[in-house]
A and B are shown apart, each in its own frame.
Chain A
Amino acid sequence: MYDMKALYEAESVEHAIALRLEHPTAQIIAGGSDVLVQMREGKRAGAELISIYGIDALRGVTLDEEENLRIGSLTSFSHITRDALIQERCNVLGEAVDQVGSPQIRNIGTIGGNTCNGVTSADSASTLHAWEAIVELTGKNGVRRLPIHDFYLRAGKVDLRVEEGEIQTAILIPKASYERTFGHYIKYGMRNAMEIATLGCSVNVRLSPDKTIIERCRIAYGVAGPVPMRCPSAEAAANGHRPTEELAETFSRAVLEDINPRDSWRASKAFRQHIAVEMARRCLIKSIRKAGGALQ
């Protein structure tokens, strides 16, 4: 039995915004795979909940008029993985969220919940950072869009404004981001399922048409810091260079200048740094291969 004070079920985005304004201390619940666990632990005992789970308008993946990928915030992980548009244009996102927990969790868990939870270990987060996703927030004054990097304020805290009655309604991946771009994600866990990442690494590349130059390389980590983060030094080391063994080496070592994992009983800083380098190297090589290139 959950210790909850009240549950309000939103029937539409407008209704959700109204409920938010009416019950500013209420917690939004979508699939519930994070919120209910926290309630069971007594962390949100006695909470009021606003469920947005019934708003079907927030489900599904589409292309907008500018051919940006638009992922409704309530789209479940398993639907993202199986979506044809995702498979075609940003397959790595589907692969990444296919590593969340278990099949049951992937059926109930949503990408909106995964990002609004604000944790660094979310399997979607590093890939969304690496693909420079845009978060769409809808409130009483309309729609606000901001880069996912800015959406994450600090560990467990995202830029979702209660006073505006905001809820997250979509995540967009711009065409400029996914065009001719291929990526790879490695989730490092202590087991192969039912796991939260010890470290997550997502890399993507765009090669020159003749596949000899890395035109653009982007890399982001989860759990390498309090929020998901990009690695500017590593990216600079790769951009405009030929894909070689040496480059993979330079690139992967450069991540150590960017990341700042912490020491905890779950894993030491030294261990996380060690695997970060190896994961960066493997992700880069795999991305190059997926893009049709090869190490020269």
Chain B
Amino acid sequence: MSKHVGKSVTRVDGFDKAAGRTKYYEDRVPSDALYVRIKHAERAHAMVKSIDTAAASAIPGVVKVLTCFDVPDTPFPTAGHPWSMDPGHQDVADRHLLNRHVRYWGDDVAVVIAENEVAAMRGVRALTVEYEDLPFVLDAQKAMEEGAPQLHERFPRNILKHTDMRKGDYAAAIQEEGLIKVEGWYDTPTVQHCHIENHGCFAYEENGRVVVVASTQIPHIIRRVVGQALGRPWGDIQIIKPYIGGGFGNKQDALYEPLCAWCTTQVGGRCVRIDCAREETFVSNRVRHAIRFHIVSWLRPDGTFAARKVECYSNQGAYASHGHSIVAKAMGSFPQHYPCPNMECDAWTVFTNRPAAGAMRGYGMPQASFADESNIDDCARAVGMDPMEFRRKNIMPVGYHDAFSGNTNYFDTYNQCMDKGAAFIDYARKRAEFAADTGPVRRGIGLATFWYNTAVYPISLETSSNRMLLNLDGTVTMQCGETEIGQGADTAYAQMTAEAVGLRSYRDVHVVSCQDTDITPTGLGAYASRQTYVAGFSIRQTAELLKEKILKYACEVTRQAVHNMDIADGNIIRKGDGQVLMSLSELAMTAQYNPVHSEHITAESTYTIRNNAYSFGCTFAEVEVDIPLCKVTLKKVVNVHDCGSLINPALAEAQVHGGMSMAIGYGLSEQLLFDEKTGKPLNNNLLDYKLSTFMDHPRLEAEFVENAEPTSPFGTKALGEPPACSGAPAIRNAILNATGVAIDRNPINPHVLFAEFTKAGLIRDEWQEGKEE
């Protein structure tokens, strides 16, 4: 019977965050730190011929100007992936600290280091860069063409990687008579994470080592990357990660930590700081991959699939970052989400002269869900079936097993989630009612499901380490490398630790939120919706070790056999009769101050996780479409998730709300735009980039189906990213239901609706008629 998990307890960091007392990296910068400001290239593709630094160097307050001609020629990778002992599986090392070969508008070509920000910015503006222009390409498919501008010598036709998947015999299967072909091209946009706290960091030298304090999700991985970039042993580098204001995957990458670390070494070890402005965050950090899908589905009139073909073109932008992993995950979902005996899938990751794409909440699945779930609705329409019934007929059945990951669909999750969502939104009744709408304003209801899995096994290493220390007051201090990034992980850890050790309250666990690579047990960080799942293994294991040590010492004091005792409510008890033998505090004090046998009781262990877990769900959306104004109002939206047993229902709900909000923006308004003529980003600010606001949201509803995950010690699995996956296609399908117009690109903003409604004859060509009159 769980006492601490499954409860909506208050966040361990809630009070300080609400009171504004939590310390982020900027709150820790020493007051004498120098400001590093970056000169970003104003070309999409060019070679830097020279940089005139004289004027910048002469500005009062400027300490040093460093350019792409000064940096070491040691390329390094940036992706926040675990290191691989297999060189063939290591990330592509294609980055320099500053670049002579400019590969996107915003690439880093020089830095000005100054006593204050104003001097640094004046210095940046005073730099004169001479470029040799090169032709550029922004579209992934165009970049693959013969003769397209080349970004990296090692990758002909700009193809970073191509992988495929074959199942059955597609060519033979499509010969079957009476098949209906449903084909579509589905385009997803470049978007950015827009976490509240921009990335930034500061660095200094101490005793011959380099210390970097960074707003990052992955301190231990950053340590390795900084070592690689500086060409120094990894032990020379210390990374400290304080509280951070969100990351959503952008900070699952080495951003400016390597450059900042190098800059301090160029000014005698003085502390230097880099603080990204929002405009830089949009362009010179990471973005989500724009992926274009081509899907051909061959259906029998009874609504079953004979064969499917999927092609995915992933726009990598200028540098490899997470590279092919994202589209590989996207492609991999197709054969599992809707199993079909004959499939041909291909995925290409292609360099273009756009900002580098990396990890972003969902890791390929918001894109895949938009394409697949759009095509599924188109298929349902083609055979005249209700979209939910069509899904029930074709979706991954209970008992489905994937040999590669070892995942099994233990429960009939998809149907359970759809049942719950349909009931919540009153699907059948509303669909019938809305069908009667024929005026300028029409209502519609749509759904989409999504496929997801937890953590990165078996593609990469999954490991979690943990340290627990029994304090003298009977509380436990806990440390691990799986980071708190705003999602509430620390609170979940406190609950799980209290549960596993047998404490009175989760408040008796002090989670050390700040990771310091000199002190914190090695962990991989926050990504892949893995923290609660993987930390669960090491928390359970380390708690067992700690208990064993506690009870062994207690045996000396109480003379009871170890196997005859347990810990409950912060006391050591006798199992047989529940008799309280002593409190943990008494035990800790006795052990610490025993003149004959003193011991500070601590436990530490690493758990290698060799499991993965499916985490599925769906979104139901109700929209009202004002056709003449080309506007969609989202009236109602509900997400249903099976993420196993909830550790903290209130935090889980909050996690879902955040993901739904991102999905709404992805579906209706968000898109980073580039000027076709120059490659320049057009809207890299929060005014012109239409992040949705809560004025654009209805009440966000989160529902759960709690099937305890059998592989997890706490019955839990992924919930970080899944909420961002199915919202956009659900909205798209609701618009289809309302208007009969199938829109195959997101965001579905008024510009897109104007074009699509005009094409469909739903709106009049007023300005043309006006001219005639």
**Residues of A near any B CB (own CB < 8 A):** 1-3, 42, 45, 188, 190-196, 198, 253, 256-257, 265-271, 273-275, 277-279
A271 CA / B116 CA spacing, docked (Å): 46
CB pair B125–A271 under 8 Å, yes or no, is: no
- CB pairs A–B below 8 angstroms (15 shown): A42-B121, A190-B690, A191-B690, A194-B686, A198-B750, A253-B770, A256-B770, A269-B767, A270-B767, A271-B630, A271-B751, A274-B754, A275-B750, A277-B770, A279-B629
**Residues of B near any A CB (own CB < 8 A):** 116-118, 121-122, 125, 628-630, 669, 673, 675, 682-683, 686-688, 690, 692-696, 749-751, 754, 763, 766-767, 769-771, 773
User: Residue B118 contacts which of A3, A192, A253, A274 (CB distance < 8 angstroms)?
Assistant: A3
Contacts of B749 in A (CB 8 A): 190
Whether A191 touches B766, Cβ cut-off 8 Å, given contacts A1-B118, A45-B122, A275-B630, is no
CB-based closest 8 A-B pairs: A256-B770, A273-B767, A192-B695, A193-B695, A193-B693, A1-B117, A278-B628, A3-B118
A-B contact count (CB 8 A): 77
A103 CA / B687 CA spacing, docked (Å): 15
Q: Which of A198, A266, A271, A279 has the most CB of B within 10 A?
A: A271
CB pair B118–A271 under 8 Å, yes or no, is: no
A269 CA / B683 CA spacing, docked (Å): 19
Contacts of B673 in A (CB 8 A): 265
CB pair A273–B751 under 8 Å, yes or no, is: no
User: Residue B769 contacts which of A42, A253, A278 (CB distance < 8 angstroms)?
Assistant: A253
State the Cβ distance, A144 to closest chain B Cβ, in Å: 34
Whether A194 touches B693, Cβ cut-off 8 Å, given contacts A1-B118, A3-B122, A271-B751, is yes
With contacts A42-B125, A256-B767 known, what are 15 further pairs, Cβ within 8 A? Answer: A2-B118, A188-B629, A190-B750, A191-B692, A191-B696, A193-B693, A194-B686, A253-B766, A265-B673, A265-B682, A271-B754, A273-B767, A275-B630, A275-B750, A277-B770
CB pair B695–A256 under 8 Å, yes or no, is: no
Whether A1 touches B116, Cβ cut-off 8 Å, given contacts A192-B696, A274-B763, is yes
CB pair B121–A3 under 8 Å, yes or no, is: yes
A205 CA / B417 CA spacing, docked (Å): 53
Contacts of A45 in B (CB 8 A): 121-122, 125
A278 CA / B751 CA spacing, docked (Å): 15
CB pair A253–B773 under 8 Å, yes or no, is: yes
Contacts of A192 in B (CB 8 A): 693, 695-696
State the Cβ distance, A33 to closest chain B Cβ, in Å: 12
User: Residue A274 contacts which of B688, B694, B766 (CB distance < 8 angstroms)?
Assistant: B766
Contacts of B121 in A (CB 8 A): 3, 42, 45
Closest to B627 in A: A278
A45 CA / B126 CA spacing, docked (Å): 12
Q: Which of A1, A188, A256, A274 has the most CB of B within 10 A?
A: A274
Q: Which of B122, B693, B754, B766 has the most CB of A within 10 A?
A: B766
Closest to A196 in B: B687
A198 CA / B695 CA spacing, docked (Å): 17
A253 CA / B693 CA spacing, docked (Å): 33
Contacts of B693 in A (CB 8 A): 191-194
State the Cβ distance, B423 to closest chain A Cβ, in Å: 29
User: Residue B751 contacts which of A195, A256, A267 (CB distance < 8 angstroms)?
Assistant: A267
CB pair B669–A190 under 8 Å, yes or no, is: yes
A257 CA / B688 CA spacing, docked (Å): 29
A273 CA / B766 CA spacing, docked (Å): 8
Contacts of B686 in A (CB 8 A): 194
A266 CA / B628 CA spacing, docked (Å): 19
Contacts of B766 in A (CB 8 A): 253, 256, 273-274, 277
Contacts of B769 in A (CB 8 A): 253
A232 CA / B533 CA spacing, docked (Å): 67
State the Cβ distance, A264 to closest chain B Cβ, in Å: 10
Q: Which of B117, B669, B695 has the most CB of A within 10 A?
A: B695
Contacts of B125 in A (CB 8 A): 42, 45
A194 CA / B695 CA spacing, docked (Å): 9
User: Residue B770 contacts which of A2, A265, A273 (CB distance < 8 angstroms)?
Assistant: A273
Contacts of B694 in A (CB 8 A): 193
Closest to B749 in A: A190
Contacts of A278 in B (CB 8 A): 628-629
A257 CA / B773 CA spacing, docked (Å): 10
